[in-house]
Amino acid sequence: MTQDSARVERAALETEREANPALALLSTSVGRNAGLVVALLLICVVGAVSAGDRFTSSDNALTILRLAAGVGVVSIGMTFVIIGGGIDLSVGAIVALASVWSTTVATQQMVEDTHWIAMVGVALLVGAGCGLVNGLVIAYGNVVAFITTLAMLASARGLAEIISDKKTQIIPRHGFAEFFNGDLLGVSVQIWLFALVAAVGWILLNRTTFGRRTVAVGGNPEAARLAGINVKRHTVYLYVLIGVCSGIAALMLVARTTTGSSTHGTLWELDAIAAVVIGGTLLTGGRGTIVGTVLGVLIFSTLTNIFILNNRSFSEQSLFKGAIIVAAVLLQQRLASRSNT
């Protein structure tokens, strides 16, 4: 069934390509990603021209990547959820909750008694737990994802405030911070983690049944169900996956700041969704790429970096960011309507 629709789509694309080669190329995923690479390169040229060596130095490149890493990991999870036809507004709040839970006195005691890996376990479990609740309510409670995760956004941050008593929880600088905030082969572990999560995400999406099912569920849930996919169970998996990603991002933030706080990860959900959307993933589901998301994240963090280097205000940057998102979505809609005709 899905193979059929894929064949139809491919045929449609082929006719398209004959009609207008440039536009047709843009509507394939490889072409779209090439477009993003060009956009990123253009931004880099602006950076190099306006800030010179200060932009092009390797230290600065690492700074950009470190900034991208946290939101990047969340965005990989977001790519799966959005391809699967959902949305998750609660990731920032889950990051806050996981950061708080993994830095409580009790957890730190556990770390002292055993190993700092306990902290990792706690954060991942909290993330997975929140994701599981989201997934169950959406799949089996038939509540719209937007509402469910909005509720989780409020309650996870509320719970984080209750647990931390709204205070910033400071952890001692033991092995955990040294590892997660350290360097490996001259590159920050945070960047390695982002690369690792992106690589695993790519394999999962492109080379496994899980990935194909995600595309099928997002593209046409009814067809996917008829094709024998357990759509409800798969939806739950997707939200657990993004929960785990949020847990990893929380660990990275805890290591960078040596703190857990209920204010961590504020508005990360919007950054992640924005990166996924400009990365070419359809908000309606069924199509998207990991490479596009990574490029989307890099475009935003490079932009932030250039604004800092050039002494420009954050407000101008927000304005610019908004314009980029609208432009990306408009382009996407045009391409979508072309491939539908």
Partner 1 sequence: MSLRSTTPKTRKRFATSLVAGLAVLALTACTSNSDGDDTSGNDSGGGAVAAPAGSNDETGDTVVIGFSAPAADHGWMGSITESAKNEAAKYDDIELRVAEGTNDVAVQISQVETFINDKVDAIVLLPFDGAAMTPIALKAMAAGIPVINVDREFDDPNAARVTVLGDNYGMGVSAGAYVCAEADGNKDAIVAEIAGIDSLPLTQDRSQGFNDALAECGLDVDNRVAADFTVEGGSDAAEQLLQAAPKIDFLWNHDDDQGVGVLAAIDNAGRDEFTMIGGAGSKNAMELIKSGDSVLKATVIYPSTQAADGIRLARLLVQQKAMSDLVEVEVPRVVQLYAPVVTADNVDQYIDTAFES
Among 75, 90, 108, 181, binds partner 1 (CB under 8 A): 181
Residues 6+ positions from 29 with CB-CB distance below 8 Å: 280, 287, 289, 292
Round to whole Å and give the CA distance between 317 and 227: 46
Among 2, 29, 50, 263, binds partner 1 (CB under 8 A): 263
270 binds partner 1 (CB under 8 A): no
Round to whole Å and give the CA distance between 315 and 323: 13
Binding piece for partner 1, criterion CB under 8 A, among 135-143, 144-152, 251-259, 331-339: 251-259
Nearer to partner 1, 173 or 334 (CB): 173
What is the signed CA dihedral for 163, 129, 220, 215, rounded to 10 degrees?
110
* Residues 139-178, interacting with partner 1 (CB under 8 A): 161, 164, 166-168, 170, 173, 177
Numbers of helices and strands, H then E, in the chain: 17, 4
302 binds partner 1 (CB under 8 A): no
Binding piece for partner 1, criterion CB under 8 A, among 24-32, 75-83, 197-205, 263-271: 263-271
Q: What is the nearest approach in angstroms of partner 1 to the Cβ of residue 180? A: 11
Residue 187 DSSP one-character state: E
Both tokens of residue 190? 């945070």
Residue 27 DSSP one-character state: T
Q: What is the nearest approach in angstroms of partner 1 to the Cβ of residue 93? A: 14
CB of 294 closer than 8 Å to CB of 198: yes
Nearer to partner 1, 157 or 234 (CB): 157
315 binds partner 1 (CB under 8 A): yes
247 binds partner 1 (CB under 8 A): no
Site string for partner 1, 62-101 (x = CB under 8 A): -x--xx--xx------------------------------
Among 32, 234, 264, 287, binds partner 1 (CB under 8 A): 264
Nearer to partner 1, 11 or 170 (CB): 170
313 binds partner 1 (CB under 8 A): yes
Q: How many residues does the chain have?
A: 341
* Residues 42-61, interacting with partner 1 (CB under 8 A): 54, 57, 59-60
Round to whole Å and give the CA distance between 140 and 219: 19
CB of 223 closer than 8 Å to CB of 231: no
Binding piece for partner 1, criterion CB under 8 A, among 17-25, 135-143, 306-314, 325-333: 306-314
Q: How far is CA 105 from CA 100, 113, 119, 238, 332, in A?
A: 10, 12, 11, 31, 48
CB of 70 closer than 8 Å to CB of 252: yes
Site string for partner 1, 107-146 (x = CB under 8 A): ----------------------------------------
The H or E element that residue 260 is part of is strand 259-260
Sign of the dihedral defined by the CA atoms of residues 207, 211, 213, 216, in that order = negative
The H or E element that residue 170 is part of is strand 169-170
Q: Which residues bind partner 1 (CB under 8 A)?
A: 54, 57, 59-60, 63, 66-67, 70-71, 161, 164, 166-168, 170, 173, 177, 181, 253, 256-259, 261-264, 266-268, 301, 304-305, 308-309, 311, 313-315
